[in-house]
């Protein structure tokens, strides 16, 4: 049995182990892994999420038990200090000697600390490991006790912006300092950087570009940064994220060949200059370059395993550095050559500053090839664009259609995964091709998306390719003549639409009865809320009726927040509120010490309420005339309005009154996902109606009605459904649209993706809603009116029923408050203390 030693237990070292145990020759090898950190491999890509995790183990690639189950000897907290290639030995820092037959170097990289005076001062940190983040958190906690809350991140690249997000999560006032004239200079052009900078600034993070730091000043710790231009920036804490350098010292000391810019030289077999020694990941210098992304590292791990186990797979010559990620809540992606600019290239740019979206693609002058691109704010088309680029596929006649939003709701010009060749790499993290995905279904080995993911490992990395994988699985099953159903879960072999019809036709009003008749087993946390939504959509049943099948927010009629407290959001129709009601909200917030915030939906959120306080707070609000705002439910949230013709000199119609009428009509309406509306008094669109599930805009001769828009992670402009409508017709069309959506949409699907999947798109929806092509318009209107007539405020229900009130307690056998809830000051209010 050959003995393999892996030095380094990061993401790439772990991937080597995973690939090896999947090999048919696994039994021929003894595997020992050395990691200098005290825990097993974890997801360093999402390191900034550590502060929002309850336990650091949530970031682990696999638990310790996984190593034991697969006969891998994992030695954590052990540093290898020497390699002896001639003797085939490694030596630990404890002077223990271990022999090997094959050695794999997966030592990764270390943070580069620029040669700036003062980097050794207390309060200066690097951003690389969980231990680094723990040290930052403890130092920040101490600073805040002293009233110090300023943090600076040195470096505006990928890791620097992640570090800024980490500092922000610690509750620090954060600044980013970058030497280059733009953020992420290796990935973004000036316009993209400007868009990203605007988004980051809107979150309260300051950005300083073109700044060369000359000194870190301070007496007992860091106090300020001094710049070469004579300016300075005060800070209480400094996080350096100025790049990385390969951990190649072991290889250099052992006499192995290294690259001119560092790194362990390897060939296309991942072999170093020493016999039976391999290098993979960030430490490997391959084909003239070093690669800091996960996907190339995973490919290297696979090649090394293939070579060691007798395979013939080689590393490709040209490694693509395309990437898709989310930085501080902002989608960012780049692929190919985003900067290429010559006479043979045409650059096409789409920019929407209002929505914070910037897209640039570079195409060949004749318009046949995609050469590279950048996406900021909306990277939903990244996977498709990347496939067009990497497979050199022919572009549509008008390449600009690839990035300019469709105005008619029809399929994007990008096309679908079904059009790609079998060689197209769908999952770059795991190097899984379209052929492998479809083949696993067509061979009969896989019969579902879950089977394919388990078999091929597709979508187990960053997860960005999962929608594309799902489409391929569905198409493959259909091509084999197999029925493809989007069932709710394993307990109900029906779609939401089918269950909706079954429950309505059979007049089922109880979850257990539905389970007995149409399901199997005991149900789960997927089907229970889904059926709760169906019951509400058919009978206008409140969340108080069948409490045990509601999700946690609906169960307690409030959104649970990050420290275990709850928010209180009364309805403020159309954003209109009297001074008397404003004073009531102020008095309640003051009495119960609640954080107050005016939302983007024109109402007031009160945060920090404990569970047992909720009924008392709501009793006061309901006595003052407020109702539940349903901020916790998959239901109508708000109908935003501008001031319209009541006050604005541009207003064409009375948007406030109409918004109030609309919100009062649909309040409490439950649906597959949350609903938001907007009414603008003119085409200047101050209510942002076209960013809503339904939006109404005043024109000279009535109202224009738009549907199926949304903000969020993938913003979509609503599409014109009908124009120049009077009030009555507009409401009639909204009734039909909402009821048709409620009847036919899958669970947890917003109106925008529902329309994208609807065969026929917006043209078909117009036929159904406006032209009554299905002959169900009258039925849809009647159903909506029945729901409107049955509305009840569920908080009013709760406070008037002693049995319902019993659930608003922290402890079953005690009325005590929860002493574990912690808050910290923020400006003149408070906020939740970050969970440790």
DSSP per position, 430-441: TTEEHHHHHHHH
Q: Sorting pLDDT into bands at 50, 70 and 90, what band is 349?
A: very high
Looking up tokens 């990935």, which residue turns up?
187
The band of 406, judged by pLDDT with boundaries at 50, 70 and 90, is low
Average pLDDT, the chain: 90
Query: How many C-beta neighbours within 10 Å does residue 775 have?
Result: 8
What does residue 62 show for φ and ψ, rounded to 5 degrees? -160, 150
Q: Average pLDDT, stretch 528-541?
A: 95
Which segment of 237-246, 259-268, 403-412, 602-611 scores lowest on mean pLDDT? 403-412
pLDDT of residue 624: 96
Residue 784 and residue 668 in contact, taking contact as beta carbons nearer than 8 Å: no
Element (H, E) at 459: none
Rounded distance between C-alpha atoms, residue 53 and residue 404, angstroms: 37
Mean pLDDT throughout 716-731? Answer: 95
- Amino acid 462: pLDDT: 64
Q: Give the pLDDT confidence score for residue 58 in this predicted structure.
A: 76
Q: Residues near 668 by Cβ (< 8 Å), separated by ≥ 6?
A: 540, 542, 628, 630, 635, 636, 791, 792, 793, 794
For residue 414, the model assigns a pLDDT of 56
pLDDT of the residue at 409: 46
Q: What is the pLDDT of residues 263-283, one digit of tens each?
A: 999 999 999 999 999 999 999
Contact 286, 331 (CB under 8 A): no
Q: Is the pLDDT of residue 410 over 50?
A: no
Tokens of 387: 């496939």
Band of residue 284 on the pLDDT scale cut at 50, 70, 90: very high
Query: What's the pLDDT score for residue 320?
Result: 76
Band (53; pLDDT cuts 50, 70, 90): low
| Bigger pLDDT: 104 vs 47 | 104
Per residue in 458-515, pLDDT (tens digit) is 887 666 677 788 888 888 888 888 877 678 888 998 989 999 999 999 999 999 999 9
262: left (phi over 0), alpha (psi -120 to 50) or beta: left
pLDDT of residue 125: 95
How large is the average pLDDT for residues 324-342? 83
Helix (H) or strand (E) holding 313: none
Query: Is the Cα torsion angle 382, 387, 390, 394 positive or negative in sign?
Result: negative
In the chain, the largest separation of any two C-alpha atoms, in whole Å, equals 89
Q: Which of 76, 91, 84, 86 is nearest to 37 (CA)?
A: 76
pLDDT value of residue 447: 82
Pairing of strands 89-92, 80-84: antiparallel
Go through 786-801 and write b for each residue having 16 or more CB atoms within 10 A of its CB, e for each that does not: ebbeebebbbbbbbee
Determine the pLDDT at residue 187: 87
The three-state DSSP-derived secondary structure of 38-99 is: CCCCECCCCHHHHHHCCCHHHHECCCHHHHHHCCEEEEECCCEEEEECCCCEEEECCCCEEE
Tokens of 603: 């109402």
Q: What is the pLDDT of residue 343?
A: 82
Q: What is the pLDDT of residue 836?
A: 46
Q: What is the mean pLDDT of residues 623-641?
A: 96
Average pLDDT of the segment spanning 590-609: 94
Are 524 and 517 in contact by the 8 Å Cβ rule? The answer is: no
With CA atoms as reference, report the closest residue to 216 among 146, 132, 125: 125
pLDDT band at 329 (very low <50, low <70, confident <90, very high): confident
> Does pLDDT of 413 surpass 60?
no
Residue 341: pLDDT band (50, 70, 90) is confident
Where is mean pLDDT largest: 23-37, 358-372, 394-408?
A: 23-37
Residue 220 in this model has a pLDDT that exceeds 90: no
How confident is the model over 764-792, as a mean pLDDT? 96
pLDDT at 713 exceeding the cut of 80: no
pLDDT at residue 529 greater than cutoff 80: yes
Give the separation between CA 45 and CA 162, rounded to whole angstroms.
Answer: 9
Residue found by looking up tokens 């440790």 in the block: 836
Distance CA 632, CA 570 (A): 11
Q: Is the pLDDT of residue 212 over 70?
A: yes
Beta-carbon contacts of residue 438 (< 8 Å; ≥ 6 apart): 422, 472, 475, 476
Give residue 52's pLDDT. 63
What pLDDT does residue 55 have? 61
Q: Which residue has the higher pLDDT, 202 or 90?
A: 90
Distance CA 531, CA 504 (A): 12
Per-residue model confidence as pLDDT tens digits over 437-463: 999 998 888 888 888 888 898 887 666
Work out the average pLDDT over 22-46.
91
- Statement: residue 574 has pLDDT above 90: yes
Q: Hey, is 616 helix, strand or coil?
A: helix
* CA–CA separation, 371 and 363 (whole Å): 5
Instruction: For 355-390, give one letter per residue: b (16+ CB within 10 A) or e.
Output: bbbbbbbbbeeebebbbbbbbbbbbbbbbbbbbbbb
Asked if the model's pLDDT at residue 415 lies above 80, the reply is no
pLDDT at 186 over 90: no
In this structure, of 647-651, 656-660, 767-771, the range with the lowest mean pLDDT score is: 647-651
Domains and CATH numbers, the chain: 2-110+246-308 (3.50.50.60), 124-242 (3.50.50.60), 416-484 (1.10.10.1100), 496-556 (no CATH), 633-805 (3.30.413.10)
Confidence of residue 326 (pLDDT cuts 50, 70, 90): confident
Least confident of 2-11, 46-55, 288-297, 692-701: 46-55
């Amino acid at each position: 049995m050959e003995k393999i030693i892996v030095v380094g237990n990061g993401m790439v070292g772990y991937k080597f182990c995973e690939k090896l145990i999947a090999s048919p020759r696994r039994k021929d090898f003894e595997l020992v892994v050395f990691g200098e950190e005290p825990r097993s491999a974890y997801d360093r890509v999402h390191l900034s999420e550590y502060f929002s995790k309850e336990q650091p183990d949530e970031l682990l690639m696999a638990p310790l038990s996984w190593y034991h189950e697969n006969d891998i000897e994992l030695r954590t907290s052990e540093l290898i200090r020497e390699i002896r290639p001639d003797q085939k030995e490694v030596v630990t820092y404890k002077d223990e000697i271990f022999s090997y037959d094959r050695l794999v170097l997966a030592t990764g990289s270390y943070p580069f600390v620029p040669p700036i005076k003062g980097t050794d001062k207390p309060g200066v940190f690097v951003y690389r490991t969980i231990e680094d983040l723990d040290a930052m958190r403890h130092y920040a906690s101490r600073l805040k006790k002293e009233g110090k809350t300023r943090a600076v991140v040195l470096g505006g690249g990928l890791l620097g912006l992640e570090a800024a997000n980490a500092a922000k999560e610690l509750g620090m006032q954060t600044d980013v300092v970058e030497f280059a004239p733009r953020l992420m200079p290796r990935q973004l052009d000036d316009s993209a950087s400007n868009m990203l900078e605007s988004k980051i600034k809107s979150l309260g993070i300051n950005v300083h570009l073109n700044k060369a730091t000359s000194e870190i000043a301070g007496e007992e710790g860091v106090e300020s940064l001094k710049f070469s231009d004579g300016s300075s920036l005060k800070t209480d804490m400094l996080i350096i994220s100025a790049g990385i350098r390969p951990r190649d010292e072991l290889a250099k000391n052992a006499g192995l060949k290294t690259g001119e810019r560092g790194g362990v030289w390897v060939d296309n077999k991942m072999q170093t200059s020493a016999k039976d020694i391999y290098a993979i990941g960030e430490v490997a210098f391959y084909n003239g370059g070093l690669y800091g992304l996960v996907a190339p590292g995973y490919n290297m791990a696979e090649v090394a395993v293939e070579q060691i186990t007798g395979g013939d797979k080689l590393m490709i010559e040209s490694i693509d550095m395309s990437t898709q990620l989310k930085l501080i809540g902002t989608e960012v992606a780049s692929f190919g050559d985003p900067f290429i600019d010559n006479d043979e290239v045409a650059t096409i740019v789409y920019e929407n500053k209002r929505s914070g979206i910037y897209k640039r693609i570079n195409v060949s002058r004749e318009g046949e090839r995609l050469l590279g691109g950048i996406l900021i704010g909306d990277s939903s088309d990244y996977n498709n664009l990347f496939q067009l680029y990497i497979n050199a596929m022919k572009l549509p006649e008008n390449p600009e259609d690839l990035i300019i939003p469709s105005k008619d709701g029809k399929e994007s010009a990008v096309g679908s995964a079904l059009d790609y060749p079998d060689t197209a790499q769908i999952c770059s993290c795991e190097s899984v091709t379209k052929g492998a995905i479809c083949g696993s279904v067509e061979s009969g080995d896989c019969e579902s998306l879950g089977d394919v993911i388990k078999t091929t490992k597709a979508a187990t990395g960053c997860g960005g390719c999962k929608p594309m994988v799902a489409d391929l699985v569905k198409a493959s099953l259909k091509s084999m003549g197999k029925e493809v159903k989007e069932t709710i879960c394993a307990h109900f072999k029906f779609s939401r639409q089918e269950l909706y019809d079954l429950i309505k036709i059979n007049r089922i009003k109880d979850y257990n009865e539905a389970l007995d008749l149409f399901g199997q087993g005991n149900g789960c946390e997927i089907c229970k809320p889904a059926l709760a939504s169906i019951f509400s959509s058919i009978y206008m049943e409140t969340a108080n009726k069948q409490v045990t099948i509601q999700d946690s927010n609906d169960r307690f009629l409030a959104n649970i927040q990050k420290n275990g407290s709850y928010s209180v959001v009364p309805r403020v129709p159309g954003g209109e509120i009297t001074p008397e009601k404003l004073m009531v909200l102020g008095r309640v917030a003051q009495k119960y010490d609640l954080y107050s915030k005016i939302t983007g939906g024109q109402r007031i959120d009160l945060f920090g309420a404990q569970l047992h306080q909720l009924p008392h707070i709501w009793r006061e609000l309901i006595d003052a005339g407020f109702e539940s705002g349903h901020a916790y439910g998959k239901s109508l949230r708000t109908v935003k309005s501008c001031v319209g013709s009541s006050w604005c000199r541009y207003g064409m119609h009375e948007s406030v009154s109409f918004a109030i009428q609309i919100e009062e009509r649909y309040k409490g309406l439950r649906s597959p996902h949350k609903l938001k509306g907007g009414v603008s008094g003119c085409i200047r669109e101050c209510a942002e109606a076209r960013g809503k599930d339904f939006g109404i805009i005043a024109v000279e001769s009535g109202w224009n009605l738009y549907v199926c828009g949304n903000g969020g992670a993938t913003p979509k402009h609503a599409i014109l459904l009908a124009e120049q409508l009077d009030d009555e017709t507009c409401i009639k069309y909204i009734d039909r649209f909402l009821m048709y959506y409620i009847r036919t949409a899958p669970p947890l699907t917003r109106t925008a993706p529902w329309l994208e999947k609807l065969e026929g798109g917006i043209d078909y929806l117009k036929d159904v809603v406006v032209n009554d092509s299905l002959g169900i318009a009258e039925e849809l209107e009647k159903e909506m009116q029945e729901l409107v007539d049955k509305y009840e405020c569920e908080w009013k229900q709760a406070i008037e029923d002693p049995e319902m009130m019993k659930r608003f307690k922290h402890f079953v056998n005690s009325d005590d408050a929860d002493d574990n809830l912690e808050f910290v000051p923020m400006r003149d209010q408070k906020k939740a203390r970050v969970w440790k």
